Structure 1
């Protein structure tokens, strides 16, 4: 009964963790540029003194689904989507460089270019700051940003910077608690000249809501099965104690 209870309790706790991963994916089904987390469960031996008579379950998120999401046309000049592979460089809450696919940009009152979460967008020389006021902005396919200063002729465009577009190997990336990606070795990714963007477009989430719902239902049913096993172990233990009293 001890083995049965241990295995069932271990599996039930990991079902909770798997459900949390799937629930997070569902919650971000409408988040621009979101990459779905993958999860899997496997058995692990319990190390320590004595014989290896116990195993426990472990739920892990070994990687992410890096496929591109659907392209959404907005015709907004500050909406930018990466074509194919690549990432935008942004500044996280600690002022460090991280990477995102969210191309929904906004212009702050001080002219700083930020994403929809308020994170500064990084360019060639650091966070991008546009001259204020301006009457027009254009982001080329290579990430070059040009503006027409207020009052200048329509034919006058002034280049003010370029988005830092990178394309590190996905096996070298890990997702942080803030949803941003960083290199596992702590190094900064270098700019990649072959990463291109499309203006007036946004990349949607690559989460498949139906698939995530099915996986959540399966995890919940598996959890219920583990609870029944724990109840069965309790019943067997009680009957065993009753037999001992008779003897």
Structure 2
């Protein structure tokens, strides 16, 4: 009887955890460049004396969905979308390096090119500084140029090149801040990564699929709870029969 309780109890617990992942994916269905998180269930035996037949249900992270999201034109000069594989390198708050697909940029009060959430966009030689009174243009290879609004017309100043990388996806891990990092050191620039200027990549979360997954998880949780109730009812009846005998 306790085998059933072990399986149902652990199944209900990890179903709730997987429900949280599905809810997070659904909440980021409109987040620029978001990558859906994938989870799966697996069986794990209980280790200990007298417990070889007991099994836990464990929710394990299978990985992330790195498929391309839809690209939408915005017409904004500081918006870029990665075409195909690749990542944009940014500087984290602790001075480290992380990677994102969110190409919605801004210029802070010091003229530094940043993401909308405040991470500094890294260039091949460090942060990219934008001069005042200039129109910014970002080329397909990540080259950032400035055209002054005053002075000599058509004078283009190259400010730097955005660090674009393409590490092995198996070597990437999602952080709590939503940014990805490589497990084995910083990634090297890749000249084959291309950008689409004036566009943004949407989330690759399938809203309908996420909703269906949440409904299925809810039903699995109810099924596990019914199994626990059945085990309790059977135990009560067995105790009653033994007391009568």
TM-score norm. by structure 1 comes to: 0.96
**Which residue does 1:218 correspond to in 2?**
216
Q: Deviations over 1:139-196 (max 9, x none)?
A: 01110111023422231011111100000011111111111111112x0000001111
Give 1:93 shift.
2.5
How far residue 116 of structure 1 moved from its aligned partner, in angstroms, is: 1.5
Q: Cα gap change, 1:51/1:225 in structure 2, threshold over 3 Å: closer, same or farther? A: closer
> Alignment partner of 2:141: what SS?
coil
Find the counterpart in structure 2 of residue 40 from structure 1.
40
Q: Report if the CA contact (8 A) 1:40-1:61 is conserved.
A: yes
Residue pair 1:69, 1:205 contacting (<8 A) in 2 also: yes
Match of residue 156 from structure 1: 155
**Partners of 1:134 and 1:147 within 8 A in 2:** no
1:244 equivalent among 239, 242, 245: 242
Q: Is the 8 A contact 1:29 1:208 kept in 2?
A: yes
Distance between the aligned counterparts of 1:156 and 1:226, measured in 2? Answer: 69
CA distance, structure 1, for counterparts of residue 71 and residue 13 of structure 2: 38
Aligned to 1:89: 89
Once superposed, what is the RMSD of the aligned Cα atoms? 1.1
Measure, in 1, the Cα distance between the counterparts of 2:242 and 2:192. 75
1:190 aligns with 2:164: no
Larger mean CA deviation between 236-245 and 189-198 belongs to 236-245
CA positional deviation for 1:48: 2.4
User: With structure 2 as the length reference, what TM-score do the two structures score?
Assistant: 0.97
- Aligned pairs (5 A) from 1:10-21: 10-21=10-21
Most deviating of 91-100 and 27-36: 91-100
1:51 Cα shift? 4.6
Matches of 1:93 and 1:232, distance apart in 2? 52
Q: Following the alignment from structure 2 to structure 1, what is the Cα–Cα distance between the partners of residues 93 and 31? A: 19
Aligned partners of 1:35 and 1:167: how far apart in 2?
Answer: 15
Structure 1 segments, 4+ long, off by >4 Å, are none
In structure 2, distance between residues paired with 1:51 and 1:246: 30
- Unaligned runs of at least 5 residues, structure 2: none
| CA drift at 1:5 | 1.1
Cα offset, 1:245, TM superposition: 2.1
Give distance in 2, aligned partners of 1:202 and 1:117. Answer: 15
Per-residue CA distance 1:178-216 (angstroms, 9 max, x = gap): 11111112x000000111101100000000000000011
Unaligned runs of 5+ in 1: none
- Matched ranges for 1:98-247 at <5 A: 98-131=98-131, 133-185=132-184, 187-247=185-245
| Paired residues of 1:75 and 1:201 also in contact (CA < 8 A) | yes
1:18-47 Cα deviation digits (max 9, x unpaired) = 111111100100000001111110111112
